[in-house]
Amino acid sequence: MTNSFTLSCGMRVLVEPMPYLRSVACGLWVDSGSAAETDQLAGASHFIEHMLFKGTPTRDARTIASAMESVGGMMNAFTSKEMTCFYTRCLDEDFRLALELLADIYLNSLFDAEEFAREKNVIIEEIKMGEDDPEDVVSEQFTALLWPQQSYGRPVIGSVETVSAMTADQLRAYQRRQYTPQNSVLTVTGNVSAEQVQEAAEALFAGFRAGAEAVLQPPQLVTAAKGGYGYTYKDIEQNHICLGFAGVDCRDDDFYAVQLLTNLLGGGASSRLFQEVREKRGLCYSVYSYPLHYRPCGYQMTYASTRPENTRQLIDVVLEQINDILHNGVDEKELHSSRQQLKGSLLLGMENSGSVMNRLGKSMLTLGRVRTVDEAAAALDALTAEDVMKAARRIFRPGELLLSVVGAEDPQLDVKQLF
């Protein structure tokens, strides 16, 4: 059972005791990601994430790095388009240390000038590393096609140009606007009680105060492109392909139907695409589909890679399967199998403190409440074949296919003619 309360400083806290474990996972979330950034500050949220590991008045960067590892735990962070999370996972006996460490870096980071300059170079190398990865490039190109000239279409990490131009003062000012108690959520799961968390958190976050500047909110209107094609040359052996469509947001009535539709299309080794593209035709090693759901928008996408001469055939087979769903529907057997697969993933995730911590934080920030596993399982059970068909007709719209290709040969395809 999830316990929820608000600290005296105004920060929300969610605790899910899991007394059968020996671990505790803590996540400190801020309702701020790359979607809230201006063009000039593209990549700021990710840069701040890095800087919070670079020193406080009582810990230098090395001490922060070793604090959890020295007791057998781990500490890390991630930034997405809509949120940033700093998290730990450790033995239950080290819970207080983990929470104290998170509070220290969240509230007291120094943004030291030397560390800032060094980390700017690290992030530029990270950007270059992503540019060397065709799977990263093809997916970033896809989102840029889908949401052109909008923050949701930009890479979370920013660009070499924007990161190079940033100053430490800009990052501090941006952090003061975004990292407020009302914009933050603490999630704790594992072998710990709500009373233990509340007592520790009240003490550690007693000095957490909002700055004078208003918190920036993510844009509420995102306009999706009505189809598009993008190609980037890379001297590599395969063409990497992302194809898909604009999807639904995280609050949409068709949220679960799209999840089920995408899973049966390309969610696992028994999915239509895996069987048709890899097992029957041998066109690729890996093919999969997935949806992403943000607050104002979403998408449904399929990824695969293959030799250049097989590119058109692979794309045709993927679109044949989509058309088969549109024209012939889905049968009860594959519907049941896909539903059980999703439910199994949800329920098995309940056995891991880190998974539960993530689910609580993301749900609270995106929905303003906890979407329970029982609620999700019940919603999946209630879906019919017609519900999935309704979602398919809504997602797979003729003339609105988006296709992104990265590789040594441009297939030069007209997406309007493909679908």
Residues identified as active-site = 49
Distance CA 301, CA 402 (A): 9
Angle at 294 between CA 210 and CA 258, to 5 degrees: 155
Beta strands, E only, 176-250: 184-190, 228-233, 239-246
And the tokens for 393?
């007709």
CB atoms under 10 Å from CB of 151, counted, come to: 18
Cα 202 from Cα 141, distance rounded (Å): 44
The residues, any chain, with a CB within 8 Å of residue 414's CB and separated by 6 or more, are 229
Structure tokens belonging to residue 55: 């020193």
Q: H or E segment at 205? A: none
Residue 84 CA to residue 405 CA, distance in Å, equals 29
- Angle subtended at Cα 221 by Cα 216 and Cα 81, rounded to the nearest 5 degrees: 55
CB atoms within 10 A of CB 341: 18
Neighbours of 390 (CB within 10 A): 15
Interatomic CA distance for residues 385 and 281, integer angstroms: 28
Residue 87 to residues 187, 233, 257, 260, Cα–Cα distance (Å): 9, 37, 31, 30
CA angle at 207 for the pair 83 and 102, rounded to the nearest 5°:
45
How many Cα atoms are found within 13 Å in the side-chain-facing hemisphere of 86?
A: 28
Query: Which tokens hold the place of 52?
Result: 């919070």
Q: How many residues does the chain have?
A: 419
176: its two tokens: 């003061």
Rounded to the nearest 10 degrees, the angle between the axes of helix 194-204 and helix 95-108 is: 30
Residue 208: name the closest of 185, 238, 232, 174 by CA: 185
Spatial distance between the Cα atoms of 226 and 397, rounded to a whole number of angstroms: 9
How far is 401 from 245, CA to CA, in rounded Å? Answer: 6
